[in-house]
């Protein structure tokens, strides 16, 4: 797994993909937080990072799909997947290495946003007037959300050798899991069952963690989504042996 992880990280850093993804993420979030009317911190008048944590999932749907679309698709298209599978490396090591590399790249993009936290912390009246518990809970929730998107993106990549198809499928699945269940619940069509429908979506659990409370049910949900998509990836990837 470590070998695949290093290979993927080198591949990311030797191309423009990693740098463009991180730059676009920080630029997009920066525009929403500091420039665009109605969204920026100064118009809101509150010392919080709600804009960051509200917009980041939507930006991640696009960016993480772009990161992961080449995970298996490119190797299938170029034929390097055949070389990789002949080496004494298990399927789980290959999948796990690619997953961890994607998550690491996401972490690289999140670390610079700590500067936003420091800035808002200093801008508070008085200084430090920010709900740090909710902020760190939101960061943890955003990490698990991004990890789920990476797992979805890797699955989307393994089912096709076309990167564009992988990108579109990944965006669609990420959108469905993040927003559609919540939207269905908001229609109030099923009465008491609406909360159950919402619980199938990522947004409900992300919002729960953003309140600063790390509930075991939310952790179980995120781990379940990650494991389910990685297992699906293993099933599709292993089908080459059938």
Question: What confidence tens digit (pLDDT) does each residue in 105-158 have?
Answer: 889 888 988 888 888 888 777 777 777 888 888 999 999 999 999 999 999 999
Mean pLDDT of 55-66: 91
Count CB atoms within 10 A of the CB of residue 180.
Answer: 15
User: What is the pLDDT, as a whole number, of residue 168?
Assistant: 95
Q: What is the band of 167 on the pLDDT scale with cuts at 50, 70, 90?
A: very high
DSSP 3-state percent helix, strand, coil across the chain (nearest 5): 80, 0, 20
Task: Judge whether residue 174 has pLDDT over 50.
Answer: yes
Q: What is the band of 242 on the pLDDT scale with cuts at 50, 70, 90?
A: very low
Share of the chain above pLDDT 90, in %: 33
Q: State the DSSP code for 178.
A: I
23-43 pLDDT per residue, tens: 888 888 888 887 777 777 766
**Tally: H helices and E strands in the chain:** 14, 0
Is 225:148 a contact under the CB 8 Å cutoff? Answer: yes
Q: What is the band of 189 on the pLDDT scale with cuts at 50, 70, 90?
A: low
Is the torsion defined by CA of 170, 174, 177, 180 positive or negative? negative
Q: State the DSSP code for 49.
A: -
């Amino acid at each position: 797994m470590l070998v695949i992880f290093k290979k993927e990280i080198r591949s990311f850093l030797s191309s423009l993909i990693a740098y463009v993804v991180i730059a676009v993420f920080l630029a997009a979030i920066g525009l929403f937080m500091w420039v665009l009317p109605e969204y920026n911190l100064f118009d809101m008048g509150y010392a919080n990072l709600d804009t960051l944590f509200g917009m980041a999932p939507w930006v991640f749907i696009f960016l993480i799909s772009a990161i992961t679309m080449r995970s298996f698709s490119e190797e299938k298209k170029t034929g390097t997947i055949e070389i990789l599978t002949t080496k004494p490396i298990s399927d789980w090591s290959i999948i796990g290495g690619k997953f961890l590399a994607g998550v690491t790249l996401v972490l690289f993009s999140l670390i610079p946003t700590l500067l936003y936290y420091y800035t808002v912390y200093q801008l508070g009246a008085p200084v430090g007037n920010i709900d740090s518990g909710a902020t760190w809970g939101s960061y943890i929730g955003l990490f698990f959300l991004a990890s789920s998107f990476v797992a979805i993106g890797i699955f989307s990549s393994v089912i096709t050798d076309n990167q564009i198809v992988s990108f579109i499928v990944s965006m669609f699945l990420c959108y469905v899991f993040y927003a559609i269940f919540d939207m269905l619940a908001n229609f109030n069509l099923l009465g008491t069952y609406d909360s159950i429908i919402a619980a199938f979506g990522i947004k409900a659990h992300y919002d729960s963690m953003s309140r600063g409370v790390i509930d075991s049910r939310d952790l179980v949900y995120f781990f379940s989504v990650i494991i389910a998509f990685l297992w699906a990836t293993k099933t599709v990837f292993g089908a080459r042996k059938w």
